[in-house]
Structure 1
Amino acid sequence: MSHPKSVSKHLKSLNVSGYGGFIPFSSDPELGRGVYEVRLDDCALSVFEKGVVVKFEEKSVGVLYSDILNITSHLSAAVFSQASATQDVNISIPLEIHLSEGVLVFEVQLLIYSRVLIILNDMWRSLKE
Structure 2
Amino acid sequence: MSHPKSVSKHLKSLNVSGYGGFIPFSSDPELGQGVYEVYLDGCALNIFEKGVVIKFEGKSVGILYSDILNITSHLSAAVFSQASATQNVNISIPLEIHLSEGVVVFEVQLLIYSRVLIILNDMRQSLKK
Coarse TM-score class (shorter-chain normalised): over 0.9
Partner of 1:92: 92
Partner of 1:16: 16
Partner of 1:5: 5
CA deviation after TM superposition for structure 1 residue 58, in Å: 2.8
> Structure 1 length as normaliser, TM-score?
0.99
Pairwise CA RMSD of aligned residues?
0.5
CA deviation after TM superposition for structure 1 residue 82, in Å: 0.1
Partner of 1:37: 37
| Unmatched segments (≥5 aa) in structure 2 | none
- What fraction of aligned residue pairs are identical, expressed as a percent? 90
User: Which whole-Å CA distance do the structure 1 matches of 2:32 and 2:8 have between them?
Assistant: 17
Structure 1: 4+ residue segments shifted above 3 A: none
Partner of 1:49: 49
| Unmatched segments (≥5 aa) in structure 1 | none
Structure 1 letter corresponding to 2:49:
E
> Structure 2 length as normaliser, TM-score?
0.99
CA deviation after TM superposition for structure 1 residue 128, in Å: 1.5
Partner of 1:115: 115
